[in-house]
Amino acid sequence: MLKYLSGIVLFFLAVACSHAQNAGYLSAKEFADKIKNAKGAQVVDVRTPGEFKTGHIQNASNIALQSPEFTDMASALDPSKPVFVYCLSGGRSASAVKRLKAMGFKEIYEMPGGMMEWRSQNLPEVKLTVASEGMSLKDYQAMLQSGKTVLVDFYAEWCAPCKKMKPFLDKISTEMAGKVTFIRIDADQNSRLCKEMGVAALPVLKVYRDGKETWNHTGFADEETLRAQLGK
């Protein structure tokens, strides 16, 4: 009986720990509400200065993850107050959270969906520059009418899975050029289109036939899976 009860206690402790570990991950709306209600909220945008200027959350500080001054700039934050971290779609913010934890920060909240999710929810942002929003939905739809199967790749230069897929995507686009139109769309340069298409994470792959979407995949896809979809 004691052994049985001990097992139950361990189970509930494990569940409690799991919930505690996940407590810092918030959706865009939860992130916005938490910032509004938190005392002394410190909002940190870890994207590049260029990305920051084209749109960021109000009162956010730009502490670029890739900057050699990241640690020095982060040290200026108050470790006794909550820190809210985000990037474009979660990759860089996850790395930033690890570094902040190593620096001793305890109360950290992350928005894994990043600015892509924030924009998809029509939440407010501050823009320091007026940037081109890139391709329109009408332009996008026109490209699908090529008479061939169309493969669309929504990517970003900083996206690790995107970089991993690029070599075999390039190979496939060359080998199947006669029957497949390959379109790559930089999410950073086409924020309006991403919002309209519901692209809230990267990479996103889409296959169209006769202008109709036949396959939609978010995240890394291996070469075999992609060839199978294009070969149908």
The upper half-sphere exposure of residue 99, i.e. CA atoms within 13 Å in the direction of its Cβ, equals: 20
Any idea which residues carry the catalytic annotation? 159, 162
Count of H helices and E strands in the chain? 10, 8
Spatial separation of the C-alpha atoms in residues 108 and 95, rounded to whole Å? 13
Maximum pairwise Cα distance, the chain: 70
Give the tokens for residue 71. 């640690």
Instruction: Please calculate the CA angle 32-190-229 and round it to the nearest 5 degrees.
Output: 105
Spatial separation of the C-alpha atoms in residues 73 and 78, rounded to whole Å? 11
CA distances from 118 to 2, 87, 160 (A): 49, 10, 21
Spatial separation of the C-alpha atoms in residues 202 and 218, rounded to whole Å? 7
Give the tokens for residue 149. 């199967």
Contacts 24+ apart (CB under 8 A), 175-181: 176/230, 179/148, 179/149, 180/148, 180/149, 180/150, 180/151, 180/230, 181/143, 181/146, 181/148, 181/149, 181/150, 181/151
